[in-house]
Amino acid sequence: MQGDDGRLHHLMNQVLHSNRDMAEDGRLSVGEQVPIVKLANRIIEIGIEAKASDIHLEPLKDGFRLRYRLDGILWQWPEIFPRRAYERLIGRLKIMANMDTSDRRKPADGHLRYRYPNGQMDIRAASIPVKHGESMVLRLMRNEEELRSIEELGFTPENEALFRRLVHAPSGMVIVSGPMNSGKSSSLYAALQSLNVTSRHIMTIEDPVECELDGVNQVEVSVKTGLSFAAGLRAALRLDANCLMVGEIRDPETAQIAIRAALTGHMLLTTVHAEDSVSTIFRLLEMGVAPFMLAATLSGVVAQRLVRRLCPYCQEEDTEAELDDEEIKAGASPPTFYRGRGCDQCRQTGFLGRLAIHEILTVTPPLKEAILARRNIEEVRRMAKEAGLQTLYKDGLEKALLGLTTLSEVRRVLYGDG
């Protein structure tokens, strides 16, 4: 980012001094194509070079700002750019993503495949009208980089064994839960790769298809054709599949069909937005899934988050880390934690890349009985911990002790501290 050498500023000036007229359909005039194309391309290339996951373009009262999400944290470009170039920049990006440029009063989304010297990048674009114009976010889909095996997901040995046992069961439902940008898709694709053999028919219903897997029949949800998650799943049940993956359960209809699929002997993998593993159970109950059906089908829940990984180039012992976990405090020797001092490799942040922390809940007979009896969430959570549930915090704590991340980073991600 710091090596841009003023190129972005120079390109912005070129746009400001070029022909500012727009065609009636909202497209850029011929005289402006070269500067605005170069500016849009450079903004994307900066994100690719910095390994950003998202690019944010946001109008302000007297200008607009550019932000990049790096290792899960939004970083703002130091310069606030002139407002005069903003509409043209958004127009150019919309054209690149095949979005409607004529109506700026409603949300829109699109997709583009950006080619650059070292390869190509799939980018999802979304815009929405806000107070001072249109806000746009570009999500950089690093498909090949994000396609990992189960061994590369960062599980502890115990959790990896649990995850493999869950996804290789002949039937049942396994859910990966967490908020947006918590690595859920990476876990699902890793599971599918592990299951992908010629003797097994695997089908997925996704919105959109993020990674192409040879040998897997992948269906993309389409609002225009009426192909929803529920419709796709209903059709997939008639196609003799052994394993089904539904990108996300987000409504009662999809939840009901997914449960029925698991009941009929399919292995079903999916995601749900929920705080932790136990909350996922209650999220499905809130969607109207009958307790007896959930107890009969749910095999396990994997809750996860992404934390920033300590930079290996400037890692050092942290003598100021304060631990509030009573079990560790009672240990025979004080634990050692680590921090990143900050260097050029990590942009002075002390972190470089991200890794996952996990919580895997296996649905045991006592937990099935608790679901059937409609026990409250705190009772179920207590039962899970007594049965040996390794919580997200405990998994993060273990990885902090190994020097993979910091204690403060685990707390920030889980509790918002710092």
CATH number for position 380: 3.40.50.300
Residue 39 confidence (pLDDT) = 92
Residue 250 is encoded by which pair of tokens? Answer: 């987000």
Among residues 113, 141, 169, the one where a domain terminates is 141
Residue 335 confidence (pLDDT) = 81
Quote the CA–CA distance of 209 and 207 in Å, as a whole number: 6
- Is it the case that residue 331 has pLDDT exceeding 80? no
96 and 43 Cβ atoms separated by less than 8 Å:
no
Among residues 73, 108, 141, the one where a domain terminates is 141
Bridge partners, 308 (sequence order): 354
Give yes or no: residues 169 and 198 share one domain: yes
Give yes or no: residues 271 and 133 share one domain: no
- Residue 350 pLDDT level (bands cut at 50, 70, 90): very high
Q: 122: closest CA among 104, 148, 109, 140?
A: 140
Residue 194 is encoded by which pair of tokens? Answer: 């592990």
Preceding peptide of 335 cis, ω within 30°: no
- Residue 25 pLDDT level (bands cut at 50, 70, 90): very low
For residues 357-386, average pLDDT: 96
Residue 320 confidence (pLDDT) = 80
For residues 316-330, average pLDDT: 68
Residue 238 is encoded by which pair of tokens? Answer: 């008639």
Q: 58: closest CA among 72, 43, 45?
A: 43
Q: 48: closest CA among 78, 72, 75, 68?
A: 68
Residue 167 confidence (pLDDT) = 97
- Mean pLDDT, rounded, of the chain: 89
* Sign of the CA dihedral with 263 first, then 268, 272, and 276 last: positive
Residue 377 confidence (pLDDT) = 96
Give yes or no: residues 235 and 337 share one domain: yes
Residues 39-77: tens digit of each pLDDT: 999 999 999 999 999 999 999 998 999 999 999 999 999
- Is it the case that residue 31 has pLDDT exceeding 60? no
CATH number for position 136: 3.30.450.90
DSSP codes, 314-331: SEEEETT-----HHHHTS
What is the percentage of the chain residues whose pLDDT exceeds 90? 71
142 and 124 Cβ atoms separated by less than 8 Å:
no
* Sign of the CA dihedral with 365 first, then 203, 254, and 155 last: positive
Residue 412 confidence (pLDDT) = 94
Residue 17 is encoded by which pair of tokens? Answer: 């001094």
Give yes or no: residues 169 and 127 share one domain: no
Domain with 241, as residue range(s), is 145-415
Q: 249: closest CA among 264, 237, 233?
A: 233
Give yes or no: residues 228 and 355 share one domain: yes
- Residue 118 pLDDT level (bands cut at 50, 70, 90): confident
Measured in Å, how far apart are the chain's first and last C-alpha atoms?
A: 24
The neighbour count for residue 300, using CB atoms within 10 Å, is 21
Number of domains the chain is built from = 2
356 and 306 Cβ atoms separated by less than 8 Å:
yes
- Is it the case that residue 145 has pLDDT exceeding 60? no
Residue 144 CA, distance from chain mean position:
15
